[in-house]
Structure 1
Amino acid sequence: MRTIRTVAVIGSGVMGAGIAAHLANAGIHVWLLDRVPERLTPEEEAAGRTIRHPDVRNRLAREAIIRLNKTNPAVFFEERCAELIRIGNVEDDLHRLKEADWIIEAITERLDDKRELLRRIEPVWTPGMVVSSNTSGISIAAMAEAVGPELRSYFLGTHFFNPPRYMPLVEVIPGPATKLDVLSGMKQFLGHRLGKGVVFAKDTPNFIANRIGTYGLLVTLRLMAEQGYTVGEIDAVTGPALGRPKSATFRTLDLVGLDTFVHVAKNVYDHASDPAEKATFDTPELLADMTRLGWLGEKAGQGFYKKVKTDTGSRILELNPATMQYAEASPVKAASLEAARAAKGAAAKCRALLGGEDRYAELAWEVVKPVLLYAADKADEIADTIADVDKAMRLGFNWELGPFELWDAIGLARSAARMEAEGAIVPDWVKRWIEAGNATFYKRENGSRRYAHAGQYVQLVDDIEHLSLRGLKDKGRTVLSNGGASLIDIGEEVACLEFHSPSNAIGSDILTMIRKSVEEVRRHYRGLVIANEGRNFCVGANLMLLLMEAQEEEWDEVDRIIRVFQEAMMELKTAGRPVVAAPHRMTLGGGVEVCMAADRVTAYAETYYGLVEAGVGLIPAGGGTKEMALRAAETTAGGDDLQPAVNRAFEVIGMAKVSTSAPEAVRLGLMRSADRTVMNRDRLVHEARRTVLELHRDGYARRSGESVRVVGREGKAVLLAGAQSMREGGYISEHDFKIARKLAHVLAGGDVPSGTQVTEAYMLDLEREAFLSLCGEPKTQARMKHMLSAGKPLRN
């Protein structure tokens, strides 16, 4: 992996600024440079500025930073990341490039402009410094012609997808002379340090993901025009029912921007030699008309969809292409779509949809068929392997299945035969593969995934230290298992507790497995990792079960459920072996409490982490409130005033705050400063295991019950005064205030004198009493019911 400490990004537009922000997220110092503005703004004139003033000359980069800080969703892990970005311009600060280990060109998509910039970079460039272009489709070889052979050997394409923080794909495009060690070093850096999924793409128009994705969108647009489908019908079929994002076809186009999409499509049109391909990438009349009208999508306020305000709120209207008018969308219902919704997993959904016999099943086939054939026809031209093609589509377009994975899911031989029967031309290499007796492009063998390449199956190799729990289970490494969780031997005398209940919600099966796992680890392992490969780590406890028991007024059963949860968390905390939790994405309520019971947390950077029980009318009672009080005491162990730390904990729990990243969870006090952040999710289990081994090597000592210094009755009064002020200001409801009173009582340690040391068991009793009391409140039960039915909090 290359050592990169400072990066210069030239171009502060959407992509350049976004890349700079994500580099700062990774702790890298960034110079963000742009051109010098040609004229003053009215505000600058009024302030008496001249074109020579630094504020004027750096205006474009400075405005980019302001824009980044206002972007939603947030581009920075936390606000202070912005401090790592320094701004400048390419006239006054070009010499700053000498400080950089990597220069990224992210200016406008015009070949001549990019070549000119590279010529300006070359005199200040030093050997060893990597230079790359963030182009979305311009030839890397054509750009490289602008510079000498030495710089060419360090020049490549690094195509980030927008927004750079959230989209995991980076396509790396070698130039004709790029050194192999530069390519391998950058792949490692992008994967490890920036958390990206990297594919090598060949230097062809639009590379891999945009080439296939744009083709598929254009095919779908033409199907709509030819067969009279509505915008809503197309999106109903081309979204999750086909293993694709909810934005489907037309919401995706609105998000991307129709002008941007037309530009990307035109790049293939301009460079394609095949007349049929050229015709496909010609701009459809509908897109041309919408672009002329300025209906460019979300950034213009209207595209294929338009949001309008009404007396009762707002509505989303869809475009009728025949009339160019917006109207209320009609519900789209069909047996094939219902079958897809009911199916579990992307492969099963696709089979269910394409196996139907209605017009929507036929539409799905007419969308899928040309994309599979095009991907197979172009695979060797645009990529080294079909695995790279599939990975690019998963990571760049958020497809759950790449084209070759989708072909496997629907039946390779059967679907290829249907294509030929309908007059389509199946590429020769696919026919030879089928004739050789192969039923799929991919297969699993001895826990490893293999794919079709050069007429045989070859093993899929990942450069990232990826411990696949599924692969380990396929190899027979499961030690214990029940319906909610499994204990897996992950090597080096470390075990992993994996949740696999619906939504990874914590129920009796998981709690039972926690206790059994602790016993097993004590006898046979150095330590325990808690991780899983679900979409989210854990969305909390089984709320439905709690609501049912509360509505039946089975208070002894509710008390038993909470006791069992608390006891399981204390088992984890006092396991006698290092325990490391590895959360990712949504980690809420009970999921956070599991992590708090661990010795360390090794979290994926994109972890959205919070004790959200107040949103359903409760307080954390699996040890979460107790742990927040304990952490407040830890931060003031030197004798500092404890109250401010408890106030912060009260606010975080009472407002049900959820971090927008793992680093922000540390700032909120939900994680500790010793906890780690991992940028690449594929490395998460590996890094968590490494932390277990480090703790074991350093002489891990078993934890026992800790004492907690609390603020007591005096501190509780301070907390309640703040809550009372919020109630009087109309910021919280009467029921919110009732929850706040219970929370304040627990966090403060009850009515003991300030500074009293209390036990964890005492704090857990307070938690459980408060929780039981709130469960009996009708408004709490209403909140629980609303969350289960609507998926969002009820403010009552």
Structure 2
Amino acid sequence: MSNLIIRKVAVLGAGVMGAQIAAHLINAKVPVVLFDLPAKEGPKNGIVLKAVESLKKLNPAPFGVKRSAQFIEAANYEDDLAKLQECDLVIEAIAERMDWKHDLYKRVAPHLAPHAIFASNTSGLSITELSEGFDDELKARFCGVHFFNPPRYMHLVELIPTPSTQPAILDQLEAFLTSTLGKGVVRAKDTPNFIANRVGIFSILAVFAEAQKYGIPFDVVDDLTGSKLGRAKSATFRTADVVGLDTMAHVIKTMQDNLKDDPFYPVYATPPVLQALVDKGALGQKSGAGFYKKEGKAIKVLDPVSGNYVEAGKKADELVLRILKKEPAERFKLLRESTHPQAQFLWAVFRDVFHYIGVYLEQIADNARDVDFAIRWGFGWNSGPFEDWQAAGWTQVAQWVKEDIDAGKALSNAALPAWVIDGPVAEQGGVHGAAGSWSPAKQAFVPRSTLPVYRRQVFQASLYGEAGADPRSFGKTIEESDSVRLWVDDRAGEGDVLIVSFKSKMNTIGPDVIDGLLKAVTLAEQQYRGLVVWQPTSLKLGAPGGPFSAGADLASAMPAFMMGGPKGIEPFLKKFQDCMMRIKYAQVPVVPAVSGIALGGGCELMLQSAKRVVALESYIGLVEVGVGLVPGGGGLKEAALRAAAAAEAAGSTNYLEFVKNAFQNAAMAKVSGSALEALEMGYLKPSDTIVFNVHELLAVACNEVRALAASGYRPPLKPAGIPVAGRSGISTIKAQLVNMRDGNFISAHDFLIASRIAEIVCGGDVEAGSLVDEDWLLALERRAFIDLLGMPKTQERIMGMLQTGKPVRN
């Protein structure tokens, strides 16, 4: 198969989705031309320019760093169609109108490069109908590529072929979407709303119907159908507000227009309460009101009877919440048997979705795996509907669903297909097994894709019932304790890199983890090409992953503090620093594979490694001021070192200028909003590797170790002298801090902590330009850390964090 080289992408349509798709392509360093209509007033590209400016204000942020907005090239359909010739991939993302799309296609088709892939980001229109009017050659290069909103964060992309689409193009595009953009690709059949919206919107319509039947208020429904059910925190009606009620109404209408012979057709009626909101312009979050409305600081919820907004916050009944904590088989039995309206509502919602996916699996997807991943990645469920069914006992649940259908309790009288009740699925106990996932069309369990792109995924996203590798036990364990596991990938050709994984809560670093790290470095030096620090929790739900490490384990240090006071912590702190220096000067490369949070000590481990491999969705920072302390594991020492190196490279002796950014990051506990922002903040280097797909993180890190080893890796030489900003730099920073304190922007204790950070990054009480060494800087860190630990206000912050998990401001 030839390589698909994407030199440039065109996105047609600068609306919400088109602009955000363009932003994520720029995150991945893919050049983008963003098209829209010519503006009637002002610059011709004004519509696109305004859309790009709006991207900078969106939350969550579409860009990894805001300044990347400058790389989107603005264009319009009147002057710039010739630019399409430069593009290898063209993604159409205009409004969901078949006639509008066809009109646009007629304009752009003559300008497409003869090799370019043409794709529509439609959320549910027929891809085959969209391709009508194309010549055979363009039909072969046309498909659907459906991103979910917001495109940077939502893992799912549905890839939808027409009968004419070349299979090789789909394979190439899947590889690009998976590795370059970091997505989970599901191939959908060309049926209305494809897989995720078809099942996901049906599940929401079922919630509407059953909530009305059982009289459950909107805010109680959201309390029941959110995180307590293992689904997105925004649950049902809050999610509808975020998506946009007009968007939801459009997707529902697609089902109404195209599924008229469907036995579930009555369910596709737009709920009257939804239609009423759309009619009066209450479209959800973007209009300021939908099912919920914010009035001042109060959140109010719609009362469907009166049409007024009332105080929100009603919760699910505790009895029902206790049922939800049971194991799946018992949970579903209790929900079904309970007379409590909320329990009956939940059983009905599950039953309706099980009924629907059983009836429509063959029509909408190749196999059950694609349905589960589409819903998990597109709607934020922890487990897919087939997984839930299988975990609860396939045959028993199928029998209950059948009984409800026969009794007229279901939303349709459509019978469950025969494969649900009898045959291989019933015999195995579900649709997912060691051989793969069930395909009704093939009457077989279908294995995973064998495309080369998936060879980089040591651990693919797993499904309940599959025989997937468990990242906590995969490979060959070399040594294991309660705190760490040292292991290797024992597949052929992979066992030359040692991997260490933490087992502590949030992968924090306590004395036992430090012992494990030291042992791992020694063992790697003796027998392996290098060491990778990687956490199995980075695989949670696909993306984003994490945590890499929440930092030092404060709780484990408390006994030493209780026995010896602040000085009692010094041995632990010294051991932590020594471990970081051991990592830095190891004779083989140590490479952390980071995703999720890397805070405090986790960030310091990164900073002192040979190289870093970091997932895009990584949130990195030195945050110790939140507990009233300064970074004590070498993070500030590294800031002084990097500032000195940057000053030398610039031919400058103004060391303060080069250390200010690092000081501000630590003093304000700034955390990067992405790996790209961490690079700007100085926590990553340009030579570090940013990975977009968290499932590829481990393989990339191991390969980086091999590359470093193959190139004759040597640890850095210990600097004999590090020039620092000294006392004059400290005085300059403190003068600014005094103004902030006196203006009540920071507290007196914040001033004290920030002053100690300034003392460390500036090298202490020495003349500007004085040469110090790493031990000197580490000693400054220890002294400041221990002094602050003895202060009551710091102790208040620590206890507050341990008790509530939130920083105390005092």
Q: TM-score, normalised by structure 2?
A: 0.91
Between 86-95 and 546-555, report the one with greater CA deviation.
546-555
Aligned-CA RMSD value: 2.3
Residue type at the aligned position of 1:684: L
Q: State the AA in 2 paired with 1:330.
A: K
Q: 1:590 to 1:359 in 2, by over 3 A?
A: farther
Which residues of 2 match residues 153-552 of structure 1 at below 5 A?
153-309=140-296, 314-328=297-311, 329-338=313-322, 340=324, 357=338, 358-423=340-405, 425-433=415-423, 437-443=427-433, 450-453=436-439, 454-461=442-449, 463-464=453-454, 465-468=456-459, 470-471=469-470, 474-490=473-489, 491-534=494-537, 535-546=546-557, 550=561
Match of 1:588 in 2: 599
The equivalences for 1:48-59 within 5 A come to 55-59=42-46
Paired amino acid for 2:398: A
Quick one: which amino acid aligns to residue 738 of structure 1? L
Aligned counterpart in structure 2 of residue 16 of structure 1, from 4, 11, 18: 18
Aligned to 2:615: 604
Secondary structure, counterpart of 1:694 in structure 2: helix
How far apart are residue 348 of structure 1 and its match?
A: 9.8
Distance in 2 between residues matched to 1:727 and 1:438, nearest whole Å: 67
Post-superposition CA distance 1:283-320 (Å, at most 9, x none): 011111222232221112122222222xxxx1222222
Amino acid at match of 1:374: Y
Report deviation, 1:245. 1.0
* Code of the aligned partner of 2:249: V
Displacement of 1:64 after TM fit? 0.5
* SS of match in other structure, 1:792: coil
Q: How big is each residue's C-alpha offset from its partner over 1:356-391, in whole Å with a ceiling of 9 and x where there is no partner?
A: 955443332211111122122212211122111111
**Secondary structure in structure 1 of the residue aligned to 2:104:** helix
- Is the CA contact (8 Å cut-off) linking 1:242 and 1:353 kept in structure 2? no
Alpha-carbon distance change, 475 to 795 in structure 1, aligned in 2, over 3 angstroms: closer
- Structure 1 residues 400 and 597: alpha-carbon distance in aligned structure 2, compared to 1, 3 A threshold: same
Query: What's the TM-score once normalised by structure 1's chain length?
Result: 0.92
How far, CA to CA, are the matches of 1:421 and 1:193 in structure 2?
48
Deviations 1:38-93 (A, max 9, x none): x44xxxxxxxxxxxxxx432111111011112222221111332122111210111
Distance 1:350 1:10 in 2: 47
User: Secondary structure of 1:423's partner?
Assistant: helix
- In the other structure, the counterpart of 2:666 is 653
- Counterpart among 62, 72, 76 of residue 89 in structure 1: 76
Look up the match of 2:768. 754
Which deviates more from structure 2 when the two are superposed, residues 597-606 or residues 65-74?
A: 65-74
Q: Can you give the 5+ residue segments of structure 1 that lack an aligned partner in the other structure?
A: 41-54
Gap runs ≥5 in structure 2: 407-414, 461-468, 538-545
Q: Secondary structure at the match of 2:755?
A: helix
Shift of residue 26, structure 1, vs aligned partner: 1.1
The aligned counterpart of 1:743 is: 757
Taking the aligned partners of 1:330 and 1:88, their CA distance within structure 2 comes to 49
| Alignment partner, residue 126 of structure 2 | 139
CA-to-aligned-CA distance 1:642-688 (integer Å, 9 cap, x gap):
22111111111101111111111111111112111111111111111
Q: Supply the distance in 2 between the matched residues of 1:198 and 1:485 (Cα, whole angstroms).
A: 33
Q: In 2, are the aligned partners of 1:131 and 1:155 still within 8 Å (CA)? A: yes
Q: Distance in 1 between matches of 2:784 and 2:138?
A: 67
> In the alignment, which residue of structure 1 is the partner of 2:411?
none
> Per-residue CA shift, 1:485-532, capped at 9, x if unaligned?
212202240121112322222223322221221222122211111111
Q: For the Cα contact (< 8 Å) 1:337–1:360, is it kept in 2?
A: no
Confirm or deny: 8 A CA contact 2:277 2:290 kept in the other structure.
yes
Q: CA deviation at 1:753?
A: 2.6
| CA distance, structure 2, for counterparts of residue 652 and residue 349 of structure 1 | 50
Structure-1 separation of matches of 2:54 and 2:366: 38
The amino acid that maps onto 1:562 is L
CA distance in structure 2 between the aligned counterparts of 1:64 and 1:672, rounded to whole angstroms: 31
Q: Give the one of 575, 584, 587 matched to 1:573.
A: 584
Please list the CA deviations of residues 577-609 of structure 1 after superposition, one character each: whole Å capped at 9, or x if unmatched: 111111112221111112112111110011111
Output the amino acid matched with 2:232. P
Q: Secondary structure at the match of 2:238?
A: helix
Alignment correspondent of 1:65: 52
- Change over 3 Å in CA distance of 1:348–1:242 after alignment to 2: farther
Read off the aligned partner of 1:523 and give its amino acid letter: Q
**What amino acid does structure 1 have at the position aligned with 2:582?**
E
- SS of the equivalent of 1:286 reads helix
What amino acid sits opposite 2:535 in the alignment? Answer: N
Conservation of the 8 A alpha-carbon contact between 1:602 and 1:676: yes
Q: Are 1:782 and 2:782 counterparts? A: no
Determine helix, strand or coil for the equivalent of 2:306: coil
| 2:94 aligned residue | 107
Asked if the contact 1:336–1:353 (Cα under 8 Å) also holds between the matched residues in 2, the reply is no
Moved more, 349-358 or 521-530: 349-358
Is the alpha carbon distance of 1:451 and 1:22 closer, same or farther for their aligned partners in structure 2, counting shifts above 3 Å?
A: same
Q: Which region of structure 1 is more displaced relative to structure 2, 327-336 or 27-36?
A: 327-336
Cα distance, 1:714 vs structure 2 = 2.3
- Could you tell me how far apart the structure 2 residues matched to 1:752 and 1:759 are? 13
Aligned mates of 2:393, 2:329 — CA distance in 1: 11
Judging changes above 3 Å, is the alpha-carbon distance between structure 1 residues 348 and 419 closer, same or farther for their aligned structure 2 residues?
Answer: closer
Q: Report if the CA contact (8 A) 1:608-1:662 is conserved.
A: yes
- Please say if residues 340 and 348 of structure 1, whose CA atoms lie closer than 8 Å, have aligned partners that are also in contact: no
Question: What's the CA shift for 1:193?
Answer: 1.0
Quote how far apart the aligned CAs of 1:275 are.
4.4
Q: 1:8 to 1:353 in 2, by over 3 A?
A: farther
In structure 2, what residue type is equivalent to 1:497? V
**Partner Cα separation in structure 2 for residue 356 and residue 613 of structure 1:** 51
Q: Does the Cα contact within 8 Å between 1:251 and 1:304 map onto a contact in 2?
A: yes
SS at match of 1:656: coil
Alignment counterpart, residue 696 of structure 2, candidates 672, 683, 703: 683
How far the C-alpha of 1:185 sits from its partner, in A, is: 0.8
Q: CA deviation at 1:443?
A: 3.6
Pick closer, same or farther for the CA change 1:249–1:553 going to 2, 3 Å. farther
CA distance in 2, matches of 1:506, 1:338: 34
Single out whichever of 504-513 and 233-242 deviates more from structure 2.
504-513
Verify the 8 A CA contact 2:368 2:432 in the aligned structure 1.
Answer: no
Closer/same/farther in 2, CA of residues 736 and 435 from structure 1, 3 Å limit:
closer
Q: Secondary structure at the match of 1:583?
A: strand
Q: CA 1:392 to 1:730, structure 2 compared with 1: closer, same or farther past 3 Å?
A: same
Identity of aligned residues (%): 39
Check 1:736–1:258 CA distance in 2 against 1; reply closer, same or farther (3 A cut).
same
Aligned in 2, Cα 1:768/1:359: closer, same or farther, shift over 3 Å? farther
The one-letter amino acid paired with 2:171 is S
* Matched letter for residue 518 of structure 1: V
